[in-house]
Amino acid sequence: MRRSARVTVTALSVLCLLAGEAAAKVYLHETFDDDSWEQRWVLAKWKEGEGLAGKFELSHGKFFNDEKADMGLKTTQDAKFYTASTSFDGLSNKDKTLVLQFQVKNEQNIECGGSYLKFGPKIDDPKEFKGETQYSVMFGPDMCGSATRKTHLIFNYKGKNLDRKKDIEVKNDNLSHLYTLVLRPNNTYEVQIDQKTVADGSLYDDWNFLPPKQIKDPSQSKPKDWVDAKEIDDPEDKKPESWVEEKQIPDPNASKPDDWDEEEDGEWTPPMIDNPDYKGEWKAKRIPNPDYKGEWVHPMIDNPDYFDDPAVYAYSDISMVGIDLWQVKAGTIFDNIVVCDSEEEAKAVADKYFVPLRDAEKKLKEEEDKKKAEEEEARRKEEEAKEKEEDDEEEDEEDEDEEAPEEDEGGAEHDEL
Ligand SMILES: *[C@@H]1O[C@H](CO)[C@@H](O)[C@H](O)[C@H]1NC(C)=O
Ligand SMILES: *[C@@H]1O[C@H](CO)[C@@H](O)[C@H](O)[C@H]1NC(C)=O
Ligand SMILES: *[C@@H]1O[C@H](CO)[C@@H](O)[C@H](O)[C@H]1NC(C)=O
């Protein structure tokens, strides 16, 4: 029975493998190439009434490679909320690899603002999409001052948003960057920035999906008489009689001024000075505590609330991408948002759009930096030349001042002749 079942399973999995390879699928590739994005994306009503809903527009930004392909969705107004979403024929990533990928360019030198995306189940009414709307994965950069500088990777699990235990780095240099999340059916993940791995491992290790297997036994606590002081004051050690504890003393060298008038000035007292013999506070010698019992260790018991889940990576419905941001400094450009079940497909999109854009941006940035440096150098030279000219003029004037009397003298001599 078991055996024949396994044969069937093996045959099935071969079929699945073949089918799986053929069925690599891109569920969403949003390119923001033209105004048609307005039909695909729904702007949420949230914050509209308060006048805090920021406007989006298409832009390829300052540096670009291909005017049309590099068009992206840009946030345009400072100190606004940006809330919009799109839906697509989505997937359950159960038994599948899920890849979420997008480009983002913060060319505004973003000081404070998020530039992450939310991926999740279809929203009943996209106009009602807002900060609290439940999502499955939140992924991407967030920056505010020096305190917040990270790539968020938050998973919603059983209704709770789980932050990664340790922050993931982020890029902040005005250029386009590619953020890729790979979520695998063996409960591992990988985060790439610009096609380089910056974080990877087990979902179980890096997020608290499951409750701890063991907890501290609530029926036990440290006994009142538990001695956990490693050292004590030596009871044999006594403060010496001669120990000087006065920090200040009346100055023995001061004497009452001759013109001191007790009636008018009151009684004379010498000024206080630091005591040269002061030894500081006396402290007894420390010795090991003979009663020391060691650190008290709380006994652990099995957690009655523990459960296992062999598939924390799995979401039943990923069919929505949402932008839900607060930006103090707007100007973020999103492009090439991809949801697919194949790393190869995601890489193909990146190679086609991101790689040439990144290369062009780097080149243009280098040219700009070079031009700036040259202008700076030219300005410096000009200033130097100007300073030198002024110095020369001053020197000339000084020379003239020195020469003039001589000439006069000469003239006078001449006259005398
Ligand atoms: C980003 O651009 C702004 C303005 O163009 C500039 O002041 C800033 O130094 C740039 N930041 C980086 C990291 O290059
Ligand atoms: C998970 O799957 C990936 C891709 O198949 C593989 O490279 C990796 O070694 C697996 N990790 C574990 C812990 O099974
Ligand atoms: C008082 O004056 C003497 C002589 O100048 C000096 O050696 C001594 O240190 C002084 N004492 C104090 C407490 O300043």
Q: What's the pLDDT tens digit per position in 32-58?
A: 999 999 999 999 999 988 999 999 999
| Residue 291 is labelled as binding a ligand | no
Rounded distance between C-alpha atoms, residue 120 and residue 161, angstroms: 12
Of the candidates 117, 23, 19, 121, the one whose C-alpha atom is nearest the C-alpha of residue 342 is 23
> Strand, coil or helix: what is 358?
helix
Q: Cβ of 337: how many Cβ atoms within 10 Å?
A: 24
pLDDT for 61-109, tens place per residue?
Answer: 999 999 999 999 999 999 999 999 999 999 999 999 999 999 999 999 8
Nearest CA to ligand 3 atom 1: 253
| Residue 353 is labelled as binding a ligand | no
CATH class held by domain 24-207+310-365: mainly beta
Q: What is the mean pLDDT of residues 21-37?
A: 90
- Structure tokens belonging to residue 215: 């907890």
pLDDT for 355-391, tens place per residue?
Answer: 999 999 999 999 999 999 999 999 999 999 999 888 8
If phi > 0 it is left, if psi is from -120 to 50 it is alpha, else beta; for residue 111 that is: alpha
Q: Which ligand neighbours the alpha carbon of 361 most closely? A: 1
Ligand 2 pocket mutation pick from 98, 99, 184, 341 by most atoms within 8 angstroms of CB: 184
Q: In angstroms, what is the span from residue 250 Cα to ligand 3's centroid?
A: 12
Instruction: Kindly report the backbone phi and psi dihedral angles of residue 16, in degrees, each rounded to the nearest multiple of 5, phi listed first.
Output: -60, -40
Q: What is the pLDDT of residue 407?
A: 46
Q: Does residue 365's CB lie within 6 angstroms of at least one atom of ligand 1?
A: no
Q: Does residue 271's CB lie within 6 angstroms of at least one atom of ligand 3?
A: no
- Of 26-35, 106-115, 209-218, give the lowest mean pLDDT range: 106-115
Q: In the chain, how many H helices and how many E strands?
A: 6, 22
Q: Does residue 39's CB lie within 6 angstroms of at least one atom of ligand 3?
A: no
Q: What is the mean pLDDT of residues 156-174?
A: 96
- Of 161-175, 251-265, 295-309, 371-385, give the lowest mean pLDDT range: 251-265
The burial class, CB within 10 Å (0-12 / 13-18 / 19+), for 34 is exposed
- Of 82-91, 246-255, 256-265, 336-345, give the lowest mean pLDDT range: 256-265
Of the candidates 180, 100, 97, 84, the one whose C-alpha atom is nearest the C-alpha of residue 136 is 100
Q: In angstroms, what is the span from residue 11 Cα to ligand 2's centroid?
A: 22
Which ligand 1 atom is nearest residue 172's CA? 13
Rg (CA), the chain: 38
Averaged pLDDT score across all residues of the chain = 90
Q: Does residue 253's CB lie within 6 angstroms of at least one atom of ligand 3?
A: yes
Query: 338 or 415: which carries more pLDDT confidence?
Result: 338
Give residue 400's pLDDT band: very low, low, confident or very high (50, 70, 90).
low
> Strand, coil or helix: what is 404?
helix
Total residue count of the chain as it appears in this document: 417
Which ligand 3 atom is nearest residue 253's CA? 1
- Considering Cα of 204, then 208, then 209, then 212, what sign does the dihedral take? positive
Q: With 80 as the cut, is the pLDDT of residue 301 above it? A: yes
Q: With 60 as the cut, is the pLDDT of residue 12 above it? A: no
Ligand 1 pocket mutation pick from 105, 109, 361, 364 by most atoms within 8 angstroms of CB: 109
Do residues 321 and 136 touch, judged by C-beta distance below 8 A? no
Q: Does residue 275's CB lie within 6 angstroms of at least one atom of ligand 1?
A: no
Q: In angstroms, what is the span from residue 226 Cα to ligand 1's centroid?
A: 59
Query: 123 or 394: which carries more pLDDT confidence?
Result: 123
Residue boundaries of the structural domains of the chain:
24-207+310-365
Of the candidates 221, 209, 233, 330, the one whose C-alpha atom is nearest the C-alpha of residue 289 is 233
Q: What is the pLDDT of residue 286?
A: 96
Share above pLDDT 70 across residues of the chain, in percent, rounded to a whole number:
89
Q: What is the pLDDT of residue 284?
A: 94
Q: What is the mean pLDDT of residues 331-337?
A: 98
Give residue 134's pLDDT band: very low, low, confident or very high (50, 70, 90).
very high
The burial class, CB within 10 Å (0-12 / 13-18 / 19+), for 62 is middle
Which ligand 2 atom is nearest residue 202's CA? 13
- Helix (H) / strand (E) containing 313: none
- Of 82-96, 158-172, 239-253, give the lowest mean pLDDT range: 239-253
Rounded distance between C-alpha atoms, residue 256 and residue 378, angstroms: 72
Of the candidates 151, 112, 185, 217, the one whose C-alpha atom is nearest the C-alpha of residue 342 is 185
Share above pLDDT 90 across residues of the chain, in percent, rounded to a whole number:
80
* Cα distances (Å, whole numbers) of residue 124 to 157, 187, 199: 20, 29, 34
- Helix (H) / strand (E) containing 57: strand 56-59
Q: How far is C-alpha 381 from the geometric centre of its chain's CA atoms?
A: 40
Q: What is the mean pLDDT of residues 268-293?
A: 93
Q: With 60 as the cut, is the pLDDT of residue 20 above it? A: no
Nearest CA to ligand 1 atom 4: 109
Rounded distance between C-alpha atoms, residue 183 and residue 180, angstroms: 10
Ligand 3 pocket mutation pick from 244, 248, 253, 277 by most atoms within 8 angstroms of CB: 253
Q: What is the mean pLDDT of residues 388-410?
A: 62
Q: In angstroms, what is the span from residue 109 Cα to ligand 1's centroid?
A: 5
Nearest CA to ligand 1 atom 8: 109
Which ligand 3 atom is nearest residue 252's CA? 13
Q: In angstroms, what is the span from residue 279 Cα to ligand 3's centroid?
A: 18
Q: Does residue 252's CB lie within 6 angstroms of at least one atom of ligand 3?
A: yes
| Residue 347 is labelled as binding a ligand | no
The residues lining ligand 2, judged by C-beta closer than 6 Å to any ligand atom, are 184, 186, 188
- Structure tokens belonging to residue 401: 């001042």
> Strand, coil or helix: what is 299?
coil
Annotate 221-257 with three-state secondary structure.
CCCCCCCCCCEEECCCCCCCCCCCCCCEEECCCCCCC
Give residue 126's pLDDT band: very low, low, confident or very high (50, 70, 90).
very high
Give residue 410's pLDDT band: very low, low, confident or very high (50, 70, 90).
very low
Model confidence, pTM: 0.74
Q: In angstroms, what is the span from residue 350 Cα to ligand 1's centroid?
A: 25
Q: With 70 as the cut, is the pLDDT of residue 163 above it? A: yes
| Residue 135 is labelled as binding a ligand | yes
Q: In angstroms, what is the span from residue 277 Cα to ligand 3's centroid?
A: 12
Give residue 182's pLDDT band: very low, low, confident or very high (50, 70, 90).
very high
Rounded distance between C-alpha atoms, residue 147 and residue 112, angstroms: 10
